[in-house]
Chains A and B, each alone.
Chain A
Amino acid sequence: MSNTNNEVLFGLYNDEVELMSAVKEAKDQHLDIMDVYTPFPVHGLDPILGLSESRLHIAGFIYGMIGTTIAFGFMTWVFTRDWPIIFGGKPYFSVPSFIPITFELTVLFACIGMVVTFYTICGMGPGVNNEVLDERITDDKFCIAFATDGMGDDEIEKLKGFFQSTGADEVNSKSLN
């Protein structure tokens, strides 16, 4: 994948309302949108784009359960098997006093796990270089991008026509490595 150039044609819109109607229009015309880039999360865009709901919360739940098990299991092992000590006349297996640490580690595991998962599945991390289509996308431009690899001129013209008819402010192309 790194050897082939990916040609991208993208249009920049000035407003999220224009962007949303353009995305709707593209879906109606059955155009294959590569991605949409916005400076902030635009609510209502996901269903139009056909993005399924994120499953991060499921991952979070699993990580949390791992934390619960490790914390509770470890304390139980230490105090009932490895080195039982009586503290203040309480039983070795004193569940109530295990609760605070169990809770904290549940939260800790869920958070760290989810954050790591988030950056991994988004392909992000310290030092990652994802090419930016236009530097104003993180400022005030809303972008729809089409992959135009191996497309004929007439298809590209059709896309340009689409951008013009939906009120794109600028239409540019770029090749991503």
Chain B
Amino acid sequence: MSAVVSPIREPLVTGGKSYHQITEDICSPTERAPGKAWILGFMVASGLLAFGVFSILWTIYFGIGTWNLNRTIGWGWDITNFVWWVGIGHAGTLISAILLLFRQKWRTGVNRAAEAMTIFAVICAALFPGIHVGRIWVVFYFFPVPNTRGPLWVNFNSPLLWDLFAISTYFTVSLLFWYTGLVPDFATVRDRAKGFRKKIYNILSFGWTGSAKHWQRWESLSLILAGLATPLVLSVHTIVSFDFATSVIPGWHTTIFPPYFVAGAIFSGFAMVQTLMIITRKVLNLQDYITISHIESMNKVILLTGTMVGVAYLTELFIAWYSGYIYEQFAFYNRALGIYWWSYFAMMACNVLSPQVFWSKKIRRSITWTFVMSIFVNIGMWFERFVIIATTLARDYLPSSWSYYTPTWVEVGIYLGTFGIFFTFYLLFTRVAPVVAIAEIKSILKAGGDQYLEKHVEEAKKPENLEEVSH
């Protein structure tokens, strides 16, 4: 195969793998009994999930009054968590779609797990608007369904409705994209399995045979889905930012919101991918497929998007001052130095200052640093949403309605519950599906496998080839 091999690139697959070895390494975690770490993780995750379900039922039974929202601060932890989870959900599609279009081969090591993470994060996110409406049994009012209310339709001019369409489309498209990628790999698992397992994977693999024509269509489909998912992923967080930007609240009503939200979403999404990948590669022994160089590439994205977010924060401050508009100026003064100053400080420290350590190559390639930083970034991005939502609302136009907000145990419980959902699903995913895209790894093996790269470097060093290289 005429693979383009660059000797200066780091190998994407290490350990001198053969095709069969790749299958073996990636399929085997689904074939053996779960280890102690998995069982412990699953118990903690399902415990959190159970507590989350309890808190949600509590909310539904007693109503939104069990939350500490008030007339001034109508959005608190719920929408903060919603935006936070949606943001995390952006990395999966970014890795699988945008990096596919840019022909970034390193995506093959992490795309499968990142896409799974996207789907689970979007599920967590979609939960919040659903329960925040209070009367969840009439939640179908969200949709423009034929009805007996007039017929009164939904407001298509409302960004909240755009958001509903954006999130549902994003979830559906991510799911289809992810599953289509999984089908050939499920076939690999099917062909190794025996008995009952074979029957299950036979259903999951949709009767995949590996025919050349099917592969051709599969690649064509993946490419077009990537092409469609790329503007989609940018549109989703743009529309989420419209929830704020189209309002007339000082501090929200700004045109910088769409790009700034998208950058922040990618930033937090990559951080979550790092958190998960560092654990996954260790527990499932996938260090040869998710290498230090993968981690370094993602850290570069984190550094870039973190800096973009930092520029956006400073731009907001500058424009508030430059506008000469006192309400806007007060909103930002209040964010930085008001009652919630500590959340602004946490946001600045975690999102803008701390990622700057990634200018150092040594730190970019350090697992410990990366892990700690990924947690920092996620904390920082949570505070960013909290700063935008709660601190802005707490000090509105009328000082007589100024208020303060702290969550109740129910709100905290629902947030913890979404971690339960997320990790329960993720842990189940690592048991049933190949967490690295097997077919895609095989297709880059000759371009990115260490044994092929070494051979190439040796050939290039031969005296008869040196002349050619120097050109």
Contacts and interface: CB of A to CB of B under 8 A. Distances in A.
A8 interface: no
A171 interface: no
Contact of A115 (B221, B235, B439): B221
Contact of B144 (A41, A78, A133): A78
Nearest to A124: B206
A139 B166 contact: no
A39 interface: yes
Given A40-B440, A104-B166, 4 more contacts: A40-B442, A56-B221, A110-B224, A138-B208
A44 B156 CA distance: 47
Contacts of B210: 37-39, 137-138, 143
Interface in B199-225: 202-204, 206-221, 224-225
A57 B210 CA distance: 21
Contacts of A122: 211, 213-214, 217
Given A101-B156, A135-B191, A130 B208 contact: yes
Contacts of B2: 44
Interface stretch (B18-26, B308-316, B410-418): B18-26
Contacts of B195: none
B336 to A, nearest CB: 32
B443 A40 contact: yes
Interface stretch (B169-177, B288-296, B338-346, B401-409): B169-177
A32 B185 CA distance: 29
A62 interface: no
Main SS class of interface, B? helix
Contact of B213 (A39, A42, A51, A110): A51
B424 interface: no
Contact of B152 (A83, A126, A139): A83
B225 to A, nearest CB: 6
Contacts of B169: 104-105, 107-108
B151 A37 contact: no
A35 interface: yes
Given A104-B165, A104-B166, A121-B217, A78 B156 contact: yes
A72 to B, nearest CB: 10
Contact of B156 (A20, A75, A137): A75
Which 3 residue pairs spanning A and B have beta carbons closest together? A128-B207, A140-B19, A130-B207
